[in-house]
Amino acid sequence: MSGQQPDPWADQAVRDDLAAVLPTTFVAFYSRRHKAYLRYAHVQLDSRERAEQVVEDVFVQLARAWTHVLQQPNVDAYAWAALKEEVVRRLEIQGRALALVETAAFAAVRHASRSRFTVLESKLGLYAAIARLPERQYDVILLRFVLGHPMRRVAELMGISYGTVRSHLRGARRRLSRELGIDWAAEDMEEEEG
């Protein structure tokens, strides 16, 4: 026994019976994005069950309109917008705001090695500031630093260019630096990827 916990966000494949009738391009799209979409929705909704339902509903919507989706100028951006719209719709139905501050801060505390209260206090301020960023900057910071995706993967998920991701990171860094009174060097917020 290795003692390692199973990945609660393990990649999920399309069921075999559905994969046989769905377009292979959709099955590939689903397989490549499902985990990232699920993790993003969970941070927003603070419930694995709600996140799973939202993501499955989005993929069902995309599957039903797959021919139309493929005709869009940017399939990734179209699907990302569908995910975000469904998350917002669910939050409105529940009369709730985004759960980022609580979800991400408490996840950071669980993984921290230093004083848990110090970590919680500092993370709450940071995540609250992140939650106030403009939408695109917020998404880039969330995907890159909270969920840990490389910048090229962030660009792919959002359907934007690598350069646009870098630009949003720089803008977010400036805003967060001003708001939190921290002078972050560019290398602290960005990483070069080949």
pLDDT at 164 exceeding the cut of 90:
yes
pLDDT at 92: 84
Using one digit for the tens of pLDDT, what is the confidence trace for 57-74? 999 999 999 999 999 999
CB neighbours of residue 2 within 10 Å: 4
- Decide if 60 is inside a domain: yes
Task: Tell me how far apart the alpha carbons of residues 69 and 173 are, in angstroms, rounded to a whole number.
Answer: 33
Counting the structural domains of the chain, the total is: 3
Pair (25, 89) in one structural domain: yes
**In this structure, is residue 3 part of a structural domain?**
no
Q: How far apart are CA 30 and CA 185, in angstroms?
A: 36
- pLDDT (0 to 100) of residue 103: 46
Q: Is 11 part of any domain?
A: no
CA atoms within 13 Å, Cβ hemisphere of 56: 10
Is 9 part of a structural domain of the chain? no
What percent of the chain stands above pLDDT 70? 70
Domain CATH number, residue 174: 1.10.10.10
**Residue 107 clears pLDDT 60, i.e. is over it:** no
First to last CA, the chain: 37
Over the stretch 181-190, which tens digit does the pLDDT of each residue have? 777 654 444 4
Q: Confirm whether 4 is domain-assigned.
A: no
CA dist 46 and 104 (Å) reads 9
Structural domain including 192 reads 133-194
Question: Comparing 179 with 5, which gets the higher pLDDT?
Answer: 179
Grade residue 119 by pLDDT with cuts at 50, 70 and 90. very low
Asked whether residue 10 is assigned to any structural domain, the reply reads no
H helix runs in the chain, sequence order: 16-19, 24-45, 48-64, 66-70, 75-94, 100-110, 116-131, 135-141, 151-158, 162-180, 186-189
Let me know whether 151 and 188 are in one domain: yes
CATH number at residue 39: 1.10.1740
In this structure, are 76 and 117 located in the same domain? no
44 shares its domain with 114: no
